[in-house]
Amino acid sequence: MDIIFIEELRAETWIGIYPREKAMSQTVEISLHIGVSTASAGASDDIRDTVDYAVVVERLRADLSGSHFNLLEKLAEHVATWLLENFAAQWVRVSIAKLGMMPGVKRVGVIIERSV
């Protein structure tokens, strides 16, 4: 299995349980590792034979912009399931972080791995 990765993607979504978090969307930082076979693309040199990361980024940002999650864990599960179902991934690692949520802490987050 090969891995296509997207690191430190910034996206807007509604995330949190506190009233101040529900008042406005927040920027989250997402890193993705998508397990797929790239053998066909390596042979053909054709984007149609692999996961188009530009499409992943565009569609994920659109999906998240209209969604609300209470917990990062739920957001990570949503993204993992979305990748497995929409991009024929066999395995995914999803890392999601909230930025600047606590004084003296750069980011807090969760990392999950899922497979079919």
Q: List the one residue out of 39, 8, 20, 31 whose CA is nearest residue 80.
A: 31
pLDDT of residue 102: 83
Residue 88 is predicted with a pLDDT of 86
How confident is the prediction along the chain (116 residues), in pLDDT tens digits per residue?
Answer: 899 999 999 999 999 999 988 899 999 999 999 999 988 989 999 999 899 999 999 999 999 999 999 999 999 999 999 999 999 899 999 999 999 888 999 999 999 999 99
Architecture of domain 2-115: 2-Layer Sandwich (3.30)
Ranges of each domain in the chain: 2-115
Token pair of 34 as six digits: 């998508």
**Full-prediction pTM beyond 0.95?**
no
**Residue 8: other Cβ atoms inside 10 A:** 9
Whether 98 sits among the annotated catalytic residues: the reply is: yes
What pLDDT is stored for residue 58 in this prediction? 97
